[in-house]
Amino acid sequence: MFTRRKLSPLVTATIITAIAVAAPCASATSAVEVTDEDTHCTEVSVTDHIVSGGCEFSAASEGGAAAPSVDLLSHSGSSEFLFSRCSLIFTIHMDEEGHGYATDQQVGGGGICGLAPCDEAAPSHAQLSWEIQIGEFFADHQAASLRLCLRAASAGEGQAVFINCAMILDVSEPALHEYEFTNTQPCAENASAELIGHWTLDDTSIEIIHL
């Protein structure tokens, strides 16, 4: 299990401010360049909820589908309680500027989870994509904003949103081209909700370059 590590107040405040003034996703103070084996990632487009283009890679929460590890916590005053625990796997389409969308979201965990990705009812049955932006906010410190949307699994397709959360992900590279996302912060627009999770990318040919 990963170590729950809070970002410094200065880093957190800067990223939250960036998200607030650059909705729907953050614009970093310094640019990055995303490549796949030295090939520049193409522009990402969305047509009728279908995302195409860009470099494509997958992110899986720690333990994968078999071991739910993403915790949804609820805060009330000084109290904190676990509301849900899920596995969360998704595919990312990202352009060379670090902007893109998460698709094909798989949320699991059975009764302990109880959540599903937001979607549309029939006839489209379309699952909604989640916008993501990676950038460098300070020298040698990369972060990403990921705006996810979840509904109650029992509610059925197209039902009301349960949580719409702009997560602040710390981006690390413990080994060359091996990237990890970690979130230990409250939702940017709702401090009473917090998603704790750790994801690894499965495509080691992806490179995030500091410009």
**Tens digit of each residue's pLDDT (9 = 90 or more) over 49-95:** 899 999 999 999 999 888 899 999 988 878 888 989 999 999 999 99
Question: DSSP alpha helices (H): ranges in the chain?
Answer: 9-21
Strands (E), the chain: 32-36, 39-40, 44-47, 50-53, 55-61, 70-76, 79-94, 99-108, 115-117, 130-138, 141-152, 161-175, 178-183, 186-187, 190-201, 206-210
Q: Which pair of structure tokens corresponds to residue 41? A: 């990632």
**Tens digit of each residue's pLDDT (9 = 90 or more) over 4-47:** 444 444 444 444 444 443 334 444 445 788 888 878 899 999 99
**Sole residue written with tokens 């047509």:** 47
Of 91 and 167, more confident:
91
Which DSSP state fits 98? Answer: S
User: Own/partner pairs for 6-9, CB < 8 Å, 24+ apart?
Assistant: 6/184, 6/185, 7/143, 7/168, 7/170, 7/184, 7/185
**Tens digit of each residue's pLDDT (9 = 90 or more) over 7-17:** 444 444 444 44
Cα 22 to Cα 19, 25, 204: the distances in Å are: 5, 6, 30
Cα 201 to Cα 75, 196, 206: the distances in Å are: 30, 17, 9
Which DSSP state fits 30? Answer: B
Cα 145 to Cα 39, 80, 97, 134: the distances in Å are: 24, 23, 14, 7
**Tens digit of each residue's pLDDT (9 = 90 or more) over 152-165:** 999 889 988 888 88
Report the distance separating Cα 211 and Cα 137, nearest Å.
12
| CA–CA–CA angle 197, 198, 201 (5° rounding) | 135
